Structure 1
Amino acid sequence: MVQQDETAPAGAATAPAGRRRAGWVLVLACAAQFMVVLDVSVVNVALPSIQSALGFAPAGLPWVVNAYGLCFAGLLLLGGRLADVLGHRRVFVLGLAVFSAASLAGGAAASPGGLIAARAVQGMGAALLAPVTLTVLTGMFPEGPVRTRALAVWTAVGVAGGAAGNLIGGALTEYLSWRWILLVNVPVGVGGVLPALRLLQQERTPAVGRPRLDVAGAVVATAALAALTYGLGQAESHGWGAPVTAGTLTAGLLALAVFVWLEGRVRTPLMPLRLFRVRSVAVGNLVLVLTGACFIPMWYFLSLYMQQVLRYSPVQTAIGFLPHTLITMAVGARVAPWLLHRVDARALILAGCAICAAGFGWQSRITPDSGYVDGILGPAVVVSVGSGMLLTPLTAAVTSGVPPSDAGAASGLMNAAKQVGGALGLAALATFAATGGDADDADLTEGYARAFTAITAVLAAVTVLALALPREDHAEPD
């Protein structure tokens, strides 16, 4: 039996065998996190192939992205609560099983509806896995440098998953089939079940005093977001005044109001309303929703533009996205933290929004004859520098001023805000990019340009909104 330090969290063994076990737990948690983050972006490059193979209508194609994002965002906070109630090992294994089964169903889908349903269930599995991957690490590694190193690895793997999504999706789509962007999850997920059962301890959760689940809140929130997203999508084909558009948007807004009403009355809400009394949280999350509505759809429209208009292959498209990923990571990981010690966070957010708006303004000038340098690379450099400057201080802003007891809820709200913004933004921007049935290259390009023009306007408005963020007097001189 491995002896453990009684002051350390459960499973934080100090003997060599315990350290080996902790290392394998880190590998397991990082593999699950990589898989979850990967599937946010892996479908982008495969979208034209999916549309052609399954006969997706233009209005339905965004749901390949949104079905995953909406269920992930709507159930993310519930997934974290569920791990506290059922135990980390049970929820980890359940999340792997749900995610793997949905990936298998999606890879075998024969219709648009089947693929969308599978992506929605994938999002549910991701909502179970994402919170518990972090929780098992904090339970395994005691506070201090060892936990810090483990969390740094976990964070880096998450970033790498998002960055690798386009490359992996492009390679699998071109050399195998678009179906493999989903099927590749199956052996990873199934292969992780047995190690999880062996490595993770099952906590005893007492019947008295354990957290209650706000299931009603999660269901109503997800339904509200789905109705709003569907209503925005219907505006493309039926118009804003059509009964189906107005009806679903109204239903979504009513469900959102019911969600807020519920959260003010349950004992353990998914989204404590008291958080919004903190100005940095209220304004910062609104900024996150709006920036998510700009950045996540960017991948969707650029992928279609590169493949449908510029005739890039899936692999060429994936390589074309590399500047966005590498520059954003470099600026976000190196430059932004250095600047945060010297410049007020609000000033960096304002500058980042303004630079991104300029980059998307440039992106909106694309033509069917644009080359890679002026049509993709140039705008990518500007947008990526701006987003790298923006995201780190924005993350710091939305978690500042929050008491330690609400830190987890604030973090979950931040992650959900980005996904919600992306889903709603993609649905709304698709109406700007709509071109009709028999669109040629010029029509398609004009539609994508309209979407980028709308993104430019949103980011200009966000720049003004960011002025409402509180100023932080923590800048340090050189």
Structure 2
Amino acid sequence: MSTPSPSLDTTRSRISRPPDWAVLSLLCLGQLIVVLDLSIVNVALPAIQGSLDFSDAGLQWVVNGYAITFAGFLLLGGRVADLIGRRRVFLIGLTIFTLASLAGGLARSSEWLVIARVIQGFGGALLSPATLAILSTTFTEGKARARATAAWGAISGAGAALGSVLGGVLTDIASWQWIFYVNIPLGALALALTYPLLGESRGAAGKRLDGVGAVLVTTALVALVFGAVDSQNHGWSASSTWGPIAGAAALLVWFTLHEAKVAVAPLIPLYVLKIRSVAFANIVMFWIGAAVIAHFYFLSLYMQNILGYNAFRTGIAFLPGAVAMTIGAYSGPPLVKRFGGVRPLLTGAPALSALGLLWLAFVPDHGSFALHVLIPQVLITLGAGLVMVPLVIAATGGVAPAEAGVASGIINTTRQFGGAIGLAVLATIAASRTGSGSGGHPPSHAELLSGYHAAFGVGAVFAVVALGFTFGLRTVAPPIPTAATPAEPEIDAPESDAALETTESSPARP
């Protein structure tokens, strides 16, 4: 029996596959479900604390229980998607996430809710890299891929702001349980559409999961975030803080040596991180995540504790930020074309976010919505949206299709890991500033505001650091190494900053 030619297979695939818009809509829905839950609980935290008798120290685990497992398992999720099938992992992650959301809404104790959030984070860590890996291997043409990446980036960015909006509205008009129940119809819809819309794909045949590497890097990331989070309660000098961080550093060194010298099928092919555009894109994404994701948390506290907003009004107040981030993500590709390169966008966008955070660092006790919430919020989220698409393209466009899952896992890990570390560090700074003036009594508005000012100010510094690292994105990604062709040295880009755009918008060479 003769085997159909590759060209005939490709023609049949194009004729029979679902419309691109339907596939993209499903992938964006999957990503939206994940990113909503990074922030949807923020506005509902006071209601959750009162309902389930959380302590002040324990309440943070409603946020960080999700963040730690999500950030810690993203790399593993990306590699598993490449090995066993991206659609399969998409389904598994979506199922786990939806069932954990049901468990969270039914929670009757603080421990129950935290466990549900941890399981949610694990499901999200499988689902999120699968969405980007499927997108990267489905949309390979330059314009189609740019549009798809813009849509995915808009959802990834705006989802955090939309989560705050939705959390406030649902908590006020229904109850805090509905911030979890809302995931059930969304998850059920995505599950029903998966088989009709998504085909199965995986990386190179014959590769195995690097179990040792997966354990090392996952444990290291979880330990690092855990140590940073603990600093909020015990400070940076406590053994419960620096012990996990030191252990994480040792595990990361071991992981690097294992990947380079021992692993037959590395969890992270180290050549990927040697591609300068990939490396610097992830560094910039880390600092942007640290600056921007944390600001939703502190801005929510400022509006409720200082301005006296209720949950509904706080949620609605985040709506302009969601719109601005969506506009920024969709405007990125046209602006790159208009300016003739990525340089103005990569430098200007973090500067906007830094300006907005610096603005918030000086908000008064009796601030107005327009001047002290709306304007800085739009600057922060617009800047984050504008930089999202160029960074995702730079981080995934220079790798082989077989490594799409792990590349997407890396950039997702970087963003969420930056957000988790940034929130932990800024919360510690805010708490130390507030605690130093409280003298054992409940902090006043002025003392709370001092802590928020410090958090926003350091967040502005994080955005400036991200801006500095964008100047490293000036080289052309090298060819993808294969068994027959060793990796070539990096090539310095020409004076035109359009080099990165040209390279990253082209399909990667297998």
Please report the TM-score for the alignment, with normalisation by the length of structure 1. Answer: 0.84
Matching residue within 75, 94, 97 for 1:96: 94
Counterpart residue number, 2:175: 177
For residues 266 and 362 of structure 1, what CA distance do their matches in structure 2 show? Answer: 48
- The aligned runs of 1:48-447 (5 Å cut-off) are 48-88=46-86, 90-133=88-131, 161-190=159-188, 192-193=190-191, 196=194, 209-264=205-260, 265-334=262-331, 337-339=334-336, 341-342=338-339, 344-399=341-396, 402=399, 406=403, 408-434=405-431, 435-436=434-435, 438-447=442-451
Secondary structure, counterpart of 1:366 in structure 2: coil
In 2 relative to 1, CA 381–344 (structure 1 residues): closer, same or farther, beyond 3 Å?
A: same
Residues 326-360 of structure 1 show CA distances to partners (whole Å, capped at 9, x for unaligned) of: 22322332266424552553443233333322221
Secondary structure, counterpart of 1:14 in structure 2: helix
Contact 1:64 1:116 in 2 (8 A): yes
Q: How much has 1:415 moved relative to structure 2? A: 1.7
For residues 160 and 466 of structure 2, what CA distance do their matches in structure 1 show? Answer: 24
For residues 320 and 367 of structure 1, what CA distance do their matches in structure 2 show? Answer: 17
For residues 392 and 191 of structure 1, what CA distance do their matches in structure 2 show? Answer: 27
For residues 146 and 454 of structure 1, what CA distance do their matches in structure 2 show? Answer: 38
Matched, 1:450 2:444: no
For residues 149 and 276 of structure 1, what CA distance do their matches in structure 2 show? Answer: 25
Read off the aligned partner of 1:257 and give its amino acid letter. V
Residue range with higher mean Cα deviation, 337-346 or 191-200: 191-200
Residues 302-324 of structure 1 show CA distances to partners (whole Å, capped at 9, x for unaligned) of: 11111122121222112211222
> Any stretches of 5+ residues in structure 2 without a counterpart?
1-5, 476-492, 499-510
Secondary structure, counterpart of 1:439 in structure 2: coil
Q: How much has 1:147 moved relative to structure 2? A: 8.5
In 2 relative to 1, CA 457–198 (structure 1 residues): closer, same or farther, beyond 3 Å?
A: closer
In 2 relative to 1, CA 358–322 (structure 1 residues): closer, same or farther, beyond 3 Å?
A: same
Residues 346-399 of structure 1 show CA distances to partners (whole Å, capped at 9, x for unaligned) of: 443233333322221111112321121222122223323433443343334444
For residues 139 and 385 of structure 2, what CA distance do their matches in structure 1 show? Answer: 30
Contact 2:357 2:456 in 1 (8 A): yes
For residues 62 and 143 of structure 1, what CA distance do their matches in structure 2 show? Answer: 43
For residues 306 and 449 of structure 2, what CA distance do their matches in structure 1 show? Answer: 7
Contact 1:172 1:181 in 2 (8 A): yes
Counterpart residue number, 2:36: 38
Read off the aligned partner of 1:47 and give its amino acid letter. L
In 2 relative to 1, CA 156–424 (structure 1 residues): closer, same or farther, beyond 3 Å?
A: closer
Read off the aligned partner of 2:321 and give its amino acid letter. H
Contact 1:9 1:142 in 2 (8 A): no
Contact 1:84 1:210 in 2 (8 A): no
Contact 2:23 2:198 in 1 (8 A): yes
Residue range with higher mean Cα deviation, 111-120 or 367-376: 111-120
Secondary structure, counterpart of 2:339 in structure 1: coil
Contact 2:286 2:419 in 1 (8 A): yes
Secondary structure, counterpart of 2:447 in structure 1: helix
Q: How much has 1:301 moved relative to structure 2? A: 0.8
Contact 1:340 1:475 in 2 (8 A): no
Determine what percentage of the aligned residue pairs are the same residue: 41
For residues 347 and 401 of structure 1, what CA distance do their matches in structure 2 show? Answer: 21
For residues 151 and 385 of structure 2, what CA distance do their matches in structure 1 show? Answer: 20
Contact 1:362 1:379 in 2 (8 A): yes
Q: How much has 1:50 moved relative to structure 2? A: 2.4
In 2 relative to 1, CA 237–280 (structure 1 residues): closer, same or farther, beyond 3 Å?
A: same
Contact 1:361 1:453 in 2 (8 A): yes
Counterpart residue number, 1:14: 15
Read off the aligned partner of 2:173 and give its amino acid letter. Y
Residue range with higher mean Cα deviation, 442-451 or 184-193: 184-193
Contact 2:130 2:405 in 1 (8 A): no
Contact 2:86 2:200 in 1 (8 A): yes
For residues 163 and 10 of structure 1, what CA distance do their matches in structure 2 show? Answer: 41
Contact 1:8 1:142 in 2 (8 A): no
For residues 351 and 136 of structure 1, what CA distance do their matches in structure 2 show? Answer: 30
Contact 1:238 1:245 in 2 (8 A): yes
Counterpart residue number, 2:468: 464
Residues 3-31 of structure 1 show CA distances to partners (whole Å, capped at 9, x for unaligned) of: xx98456994736xx758x8876665444
For residues 256 and 31 of structure 1, what CA distance do their matches in structure 2 show? Answer: 33
For residues 326 and 101 of structure 2, what CA distance do their matches in structure 1 show? Answer: 28
Residues 28-75 of structure 1 show CA distances to partners (whole Å, capped at 9, x for unaligned) of: 544433322322232232233223333444444443333323322332
For residues 197 and 400 of structure 1, what CA distance do their matches in structure 2 show? Answer: 27
Residue range with higher mean Cα deviation, 41-50 or 421-430: 41-50
Read off the aligned partner of 2:247 and give its amino acid letter. A
For residues 146 and 403 of structure 1, what CA distance do their matches in structure 2 show? Answer: 18
Read off the aligned partner of 1:263 and give its amino acid letter. E
Contact 1:10 1:139 in 2 (8 A): no
For residues 299 and 271 of structure 2, what CA distance do their matches in structure 1 show? Answer: 39
CA RMSD of aligned residues (A): 3.6
Contact 1:78 1:214 in 2 (8 A): no
For residues 141 and 83 of structure 2, what CA distance do their matches in structure 1 show? Answer: 23
For residues 286 and 137 of structure 1, what CA distance do their matches in structure 2 show? Answer: 22
Read off the aligned partner of 1:325 and give its amino acid letter. A
For residues 367 and 324 of structure 1, what CA distance do their matches in structure 2 show? Answer: 20
For residues 332 and 100 of structure 1, what CA distance do their matches in structure 2 show? Answer: 27
